[in-house]
Amino acid sequence: MNPAEEESACKLLVSAPDLGDENFDQTVVLLLEHDPEGALGLVLNRPTSSEVSEHLPDWAGMAVSPALFFFGGPVSVGSLLAIGRRQMGASSRNVQTLIGPLVIVDPAALITGEVEGIDALRLFTGYSGWAAGQLDAELASGAWHVVSPLPDDVLCSEPDALWRSIMRRQGGKLASQGLYPEDLSSN
């Protein structure tokens, strides 16, 4: 796949306000793969309380604010995934282009120093996964809205505001849903 095709395939799943799943209430998921076998993504707006500097001090300088590990989803929570920002003209070995300068970085290659030219990094524990047909069924039921990301969405410095921000910029019904209270039962 050429870089233009890879970028056009990069989408966000924005949860409907009434999703009713504590793992995904008011979440924004960067969809990394979606094919007949299933889907895989990373939750972009669930920082943990665990600081990158405590566990991977060599990477702390590249960790974007907030410099915390993020909960990528409930699958394989012991695994580590990384999204980075590539410097202009930097080597593209051991990375996969997402959108603009953003890339998926192989954490093993980071450890061994086989990735150069990354000036920002976000680390995720776990990922979001769907079995064959599962995400398609959730999309058909209205559980998720599919939107195109802006490069700043992925390494957002204010993850707690990301869901509302993305909903509001869509306009129409989605914009009004972005104004719903966090707890719908309090409405």
Query: Is the per-residue pLDDT at 14 higher than 50?
Result: yes
Residue count of the chain: 187
Strands 68-71 and 118-131: parallel
Q: What is the predicted pLDDT for the residue at 182?
A: 59
Query: Is the per-residue pLDDT at 38 higher than 50?
Result: yes
pLDDT one-digit tens code per residue, 143-186: 999 999 988 999 999 999 999 999 888 887 776 665 555 555 55
Q: What is the predicted pLDDT for the residue at 76?
A: 95
pLDDT one-digit tens code per residue, 63-91: 999 999 999 999 999 999 999 998 887 76
Nearest to 150 by CA among 101, 95, 87: 101
CATH of domain 3-176: 3.40.1740.10
Phi, psi (rounded to 5 degrees) for 33: -145, 140
Percent of the chain past pLDDT 70, that is, above it, reads 87
Three-state SS across the chain? CCHHHHHHHCEEEEECCCCCCCCCCCCEEEEEEEECCEEEEEECCCEEEEEHHHHCHHHCCCECCCCEEEECCCEEEEEEEEEEEECCCCCCCCEEEEECCEEEECHHHHHCCCCCCEEEEEEEEEEEEEECCHHHHHHHCCCEEEECCCHHHHCCCCHHHHHHHHHHHHCHHHHHHCCCCCCHHHC
Are 47 and 122 contacting, i.e. CB atoms less than 8 angstroms apart? Answer: no
Question: What is the average pLDDT across 38-53?
Answer: 97
Total-model pTM: 0.87
Q: What is the predicted pLDDT for the residue at 114?
A: 79
The Cα 114–Cα 94 span in angstroms is 7
